[in-house]
């Protein structure tokens, strides 16, 4: 059997507007299977909106967006596009994990309950099976001992690692991260990046919006620079970081240093 070479994510001229505000103005990029792509760019450039389109939280207005070969949000029949029903969209979305800047854990549930919620309610797993897997995922993020704690009893970094375990509980084929360490105290950033690094080494396909250039340089296979709703430049992270080709990339990177 040959390996599936369909890219995991393909965006082809993806456009998104909110009323008169055009936010994505033709974003094109590809993320291969097993690849880690880091998405960088100034605030307001449309990075979150793009991730939200991939994860069905927004609908694209034009262009094509596919995950694992499936058109996101629409079904194509006889050359026409039909919007997916919420149920169909939900089915696609199950395979995509997302981690947000502000963790978004359920505050009144324990760590374990947070992690097993989706597999049991959405995935139809038995509570026993889901618990077994959740404990192993908590092990993976170094937090098995916190299974019975509540989110408020954890540090931000620990909460974010629980959020990663929760996203992994649905066995996603793609993981999206939207500035996962931006809300953390500096001393807590490393542990979260370590978990993400291990996940990458394990072969997970990841699309990561981040300002952590060290992570991008060391872990990403591809660095994508967005500005003003378009991809300005993309390529090998070391190349882009050390030798940016576009003035806008140069300007952005020089402000980070
Ligand atoms: P980034 O993540 O790169 O900082 P965003 O994707 O969050 O950028 O936002 C891009 C632009 O889209 C901003 O001008 C923002 O105000 C606007 N925007 C995002 N979401 C909405 C929304 N739901 N309604 C209206 N405008 C929005
Ligand atoms: Mg954002």
For ligand 2, an ion, list residues with CB under 5 A.
Answer: 48
Q: Give the residue carrying structure tokens 């599936």.
A: 4
Q: Among the atoms of ligand 1, which is closest to the Cα of residue 19?
A: 25
Give residue 112's pLDDT: 98
pTM reported for the whole predicted model: 0.96
Helix 156-168, helix 127-140: angle, nearest 10: 130
* Spatial distance between the Cα atoms of 229 and 237, rounded to a whole number of angstroms: 20
Residue nearest ligand 1's atom 5 by CA: 46
Among 27, 1, 29, CA closest to 16: 27
Low-confidence residues in the chain, pLDDT < 50: none
In this prediction, residue 257 carries a pLDDT of 66
Q: How far is the CA of 113 from the centre of ligand 1 (A)?
A: 32
For 153, list phi and psi in degrees, rounded to 5.
-85, 0
Helix (H) or strand (E) holding 167: helix 156-168
**What residues line ligand 1, using a CB cutoff of 6 Å?**
18, 21, 23, 41, 43-49
Burial class (CB in 10 A: 0-12, 13-18, 19+), 53: buried
Quick one: which of 2, 26, 4 has its CA closest to 13? Answer: 26
Put residue 179 in one of left, alpha, beta given phi > 0 → left and psi -120 to 50 → alpha.
left
CATH class of the 9-254 domain in this structure? alpha beta
Spatial separation of the C-alpha atoms in residues 193 and 51, rounded to whole Å: 19
Query: Which sign, positive or negative, has the C-alpha torsion 4, 165, 120, 105?
Result: negative
CB 13 within 8 A of CB 62: yes
pLDDT for 49: 98
Distance 150 CA to ligand 1 centre (A): 32
Q: Domain ranges in the chain? A: 9-254
pLDDT of residue 56: 92
ipTM above 0.95, yes or no: yes
């Amino acid at each position: 059997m040959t390996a599936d070479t369909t890219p995991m994510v393909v965006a082809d001229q993806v456009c998104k507007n909110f009323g008169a505000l055009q936010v994505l103005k033709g974003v094109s990029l590809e993320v291969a299977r097993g690849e880690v792509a880091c998405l960088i760019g100034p605030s307001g450039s449309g990075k979150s909106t793009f991730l939200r389109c991939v994860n069905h939280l927004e609908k694209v207005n034009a262009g094509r967006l596919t995950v694992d070969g499936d058109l996101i949000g629409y079904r194509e029949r006889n050359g026409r596009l039909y919007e997916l029903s919420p149920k169909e969209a939900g089915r696609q979305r199950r395979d995509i994990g997302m981690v947000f800047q502000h963790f978004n854990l359920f505050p009144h549930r324990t760590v374990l309950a947070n992690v097993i919620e989706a597999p049991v309610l959405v995935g139809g797993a038995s509570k026993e099976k889901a618990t077994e897997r959740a404990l192993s995922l908590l092990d993976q993020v170094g937090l098995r001992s916190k299974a019975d704690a509540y989110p408020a009893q954890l540090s931000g970094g620990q909460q974010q690692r629980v959020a990663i375990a929760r996203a992994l509980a649905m066995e996603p084929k793609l993981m999206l991260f939207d500035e996962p360490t931006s809300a953390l105290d500096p001393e807590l950033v490393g542990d979260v990046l370590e978990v993400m690094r291990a996940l990458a080494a394990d072969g997970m396909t990841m699309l990561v919006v981040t300002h952590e250039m060290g992570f991008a340089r060391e872990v990403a296979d591809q660095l994508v620079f967005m500005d003003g709703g378009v991809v300005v430049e993309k390529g090998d992270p070391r190349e882009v970081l050390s030798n940016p080709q576009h003035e806008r990339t140069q300007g952005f990177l020089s402000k980070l240093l």
